[in-house]
Amino acid sequence: METKACRRCRRLFQYIGGDMYCPICKDELENLFKEVKTYIYEHKNCSIPEVIKATGCKEANIEQWVREERLILNDNTGIKFFCEKCGTQIFSGRFCAKCKAETANMLSGIYKEEKPQAAPKRFNDAKHNEMYTMEMRRGRKQ
């Protein structure tokens, strides 16, 4: 186990992995998260400065929670986040559904290129040849 300084309060604590926050800050952030979430749902069209003023959180906290998809916004809030790729308004995460799908397609495209379609056929042929050879061998033995 390692001793590390908390990212938030600089207190030293036994680091066991995950976020670099001490157990006290972790608890506080958890409570803050719940407070922010409740505030956003209860106050329609609230803005980030309003939430900060009411809960004492930081803008970076809100951004982090939204990008981590922990905090899911809705049409009723004045807090707006946008897709990092195309700028469409999104309610959580980093990308809109369209860009997410495009990225997934791109990744599977690369995957397909790396493994040519002829490969499975070749595999079958090899298997067939192997079976054929085995039959031949068997034939010879008999």
- Under 8 Å CB-to-CB from 79, ≥6 apart: which residues? 40, 46, 47, 48, 51, 62, 73
Among 15, 85, 92, 93, binds Zn ion (CB under 5 A): 85
As a whole number of angstroms, the distance between CA 107 and CA 109 comes to: 5
| Span of 19-27, 73-81, 108-116, 133-141 interacting with Zn ion by CB under 5 A | 19-27
Among 83, 91, 92, 93, binds Zn ion (CB under 5 A): 83
CB 4 within 8 A of CB 22: no
Residue with smaller CB distance to Zn ion, 16 or 118: 16
Residue with smaller CB distance to Zn ion, 6 or 40: 6
Does 61 engage in binding with Zn ion (CB under 5 A)? no
DSSP designation for 94:
S
Residue with smaller CB distance to Zn ion, 43 or 100: 100
